[in-house]
Amino acid sequence: MDGFVLSRPDHSVVTRGVRRSFGSSDAATHALSAGTTKLIVGALPFDPAAATALYEPAEATIASRPWQPRDPQTLPTTRVDREIPSSSEHLRRVEKLIGRLRSGEIDKVVAARTVELRTQTPISPTALAARMTALNPVANTFAVDLSAAGAEFEGHSLVGATPEVLVSRRGRVVTCRPLAGTTKRSADSEQDREAGESLLRSTKNLAEHAFVTAWIREVLQPMCSDLSVPATPELTNTHEVWHLASPIRGTLRNDTTALDLAMALHPTPALCGTPTDAALKVIRETEEPRRFYGGAVGWCDDAGDGDWVVAIRCAEISADGLSAWASAGGGIVAESDPQDELDETSTKLRTLLTALGAETLD
Ligand SMILES: C=C(O[C@H]1C=CC=C(C(=O)O)[C@@H]1O)C(=O)O
């Protein structure tokens, strides 16, 4: 795809063409601080050691409203071809992780899995992003070309509709809205309300969430003259699930850019774990590389303002558009149940599978 889309309910950045690409965040940060670029857009990978897909676009349209795609395009029928790993292997991995959590080696770790999808006619990344915007109007929809990350990503794109904001900066005001803690929604409105209320009381989910807010506080506190982190999370939802969410707000002491803030905060324990380095090591040993799933997608301008959303509820699309890899994960703590964790990833995968017209796994 040629370009970048990040559509939020009250803001959108849509770009075309590439003036320069950056395979590392240092190069992008340098271009912004040297004043040689006005805008950087793109994606950060899950693993901070991997290459980035960041660009200075040739043209950009920035608006205080969601993206309004011009031509409605059709999407082909897509089917799930393979699970990576299989459901039974994911269960085994989670069981082993619970053992490591109970031994005290780590406090929390996020376990993820992927489904490979195939189709006979190419998936257009912008058509998929348009459909996801229509299906998830309060989510943050994105479509990003990943080519700048190197030969294995040439022509690949990342498309999704995420409910989670890693960080947003406007002037000295910094905001985050981490999510962690999940339960499935119900078609019955009374049961649905009860599911949300019991999530708010779930000690296991509250613990999962508290690791994330503690990390964000630890990173932002030294950078902020004031920082407000709610003592308890609130409820939020997508079509498929309820989540625990914490709206965090601070005032920056200096002019740290949105891109630098994103790099300092990423990967939060909502996608990685606690302690961060130990959890990252466990994920590298246990899983296939996450590539850009679990990373961040966003923009940063030459004033340092920007938005970075967490790359979840998304899929990587191949260069020929005939394959897609959708991933989902969940936070594991010592009290987790492997089957519940597998089911949670199946429910989270619904966002992508439904948009692609594929059969869901739950
Ligand atoms: C890792 C994912 O979700 C994160 C965001 C919300 C709730 C989460 C959880 O309850 O585990 C995860 O931290 C994903 O959707 O793939």
pTM over 0.80: yes
Task: Give the model confidence (pLDDT) of 281-314 as tens digits.
Answer: 999 999 999 999 999 999 999 999 999 999 999 9
Q: Are 163 and 243 contacting, i.e. CB atoms less than 8 angstroms apart?
A: yes
Exposure string (b/e) for 242-278, b if CB count within 10 Å is 16 or more? Answer: bbbbbebbbebeeebbbbbbbbebbbbbbbbbbbbeb
Mean pLDDT value of segment 205-230: 98
Residue 38 has a pLDDT of: 95
Q: Return the closest-CA partner of residue 271 out of 203, 348, 324, 347.
A: 348
Residue 132 has a pLDDT of: 95
Residue 106 has, within 13 A of its CA and on its CB side, a CA count of: 26
Task: Give the model confidence (pLDDT) of 135-150 as tens digits.
Answer: 999 999 999 999 999 9
Q: Which of 56, 89, 105, 108 is catalytic?
A: 108
Q: From CA 161, how far away is CA 179, in angstroms rounded?
A: 14
First-last CA distance in the chain = 31
Task: Give the model confidence (pLDDT) of 89-125 as tens digits.
Answer: 999 999 999 999 999 999 999 999 999 999 999 999 9
Q: What are the structural domains of the chain?
A: 4-65+81-355 (3.60.120.10)
Nearest CA to ligand 1 atom 7: 180
E strand segments, 185-285: 224-228, 234-237, 241-245, 248-252, 273-274
Task: Give the model confidence (pLDDT) of 3-54 as tens digits.
Answer: 999 999 999 999 999 999 998 999 999 999 999 999 999 999 999 999 999 9
Q: Find the helix packing angle between 338-355 and 125-135, rounded to 10°.
A: 110
Identify the band that residue 360 occupies on the pLDDT scale cut at 50, 70 and 90: confident
Residue 263 has a pLDDT of: 97
Name the token pair of 105. 């080696």
Is 38 among the catalytic positions? Answer: no
Residue 180 has a pLDDT of: 98
pLDDT at 226 over 90: yes
Ligand 1 in reach of 184 Cβ (< 6 A): no
Q: How far is the CA of 345 from the centre of ligand 1 (A)?
A: 9
Ligand 1 in reach of 336 Cβ (< 6 A): no
Q: Which of 59, 83, 154, 164 is catalytic?
A: 164
Ligand 1 in reach of 331 Cβ (< 6 A): yes
Q: How far is the CA of 56 from the centre of ligand 1 (A)?
A: 30
Q: From CA 70, how far away is CA 14, in angstroms rounded?
A: 12
Task: Give the model confidence (pLDDT) of 7-19 as tens digits.
Answer: 999 999 999 999 9
Residue 1 has a pLDDT of: 86
Is 164 among the catalytic positions? Answer: yes
Residue 97 has a pLDDT of: 98
Residue 73 has a pLDDT of: 79
pLDDT at 161 over 90: yes
Q: Could you tell me which residues are beta bridge partners of residue 252?
A: 224
E strand segments, 121-274: 140-145, 157-162, 165-170, 173-177, 179-184, 224-228, 234-237, 241-245, 248-252, 273-274
Q: How far is the CA of 270 from the centre of ligand 1 (A)?
A: 6
Residue 210 has a pLDDT of: 98
Q: How far is the CA of 59 from the centre of ligand 1 (A)?
A: 33
Q: Are 297 and 291 contacting, i.e. CB atoms less than 8 angstroms apart?
A: no
User: What pairing do the DSSP bridges indicate for beta strands 11-22 and 4-8?
Assistant: antiparallel
Of 110, 202, 241, 340, the residue with max ligand 1 atoms within 8 A of its CB, to mutate for a pocket test, comes to 110
Residue 208 has a pLDDT of: 97
Residue 287 has a pLDDT of: 98
Of 108, 114, 166, 182, the residue with max ligand 1 atoms within 8 A of its CB, to mutate for a pocket test, comes to 182
Residue 70 has a pLDDT of: 81
Of all residues in the chain, what percent carry a pLDDT higher than 90?
A: 96
Task: Give the model confidence (pLDDT) of 307-335 as tens digits.
Answer: 999 999 999 999 999 999 999 999 999 99
Q: Return the closest-CA partner of residue 255 out of 19, 33, 55, 65.
A: 33
Q: How far is the CA of 181 from the centre of ligand 1 (A)?
A: 7
Of all residues in the chain, what percent carry a pLDDT higher than 70?
A: 100
User: What pairing do the DSSP bridges indicate for beta strands 179-184 and 53-63?
Assistant: unpaired
pLDDT at 71 over 80: no
Q: Return the closest-CA partner of residue 278 out of 157, 138, 107, 111.
A: 107
Task: Give the model confidence (pLDDT) of 261-279 as tens digits.
Answer: 999 999 999 999 999 999 9
pLDDT at 129 over 80: yes
Nearest CA to ligand 1 atom 8: 180
Residue 337 has a pLDDT of: 97
Instruction: Please identify, by atom number, the ligand 1 atom nearest to the C-alpha of residue 181.
Output: 10
pLDDT at 237 over 90: yes
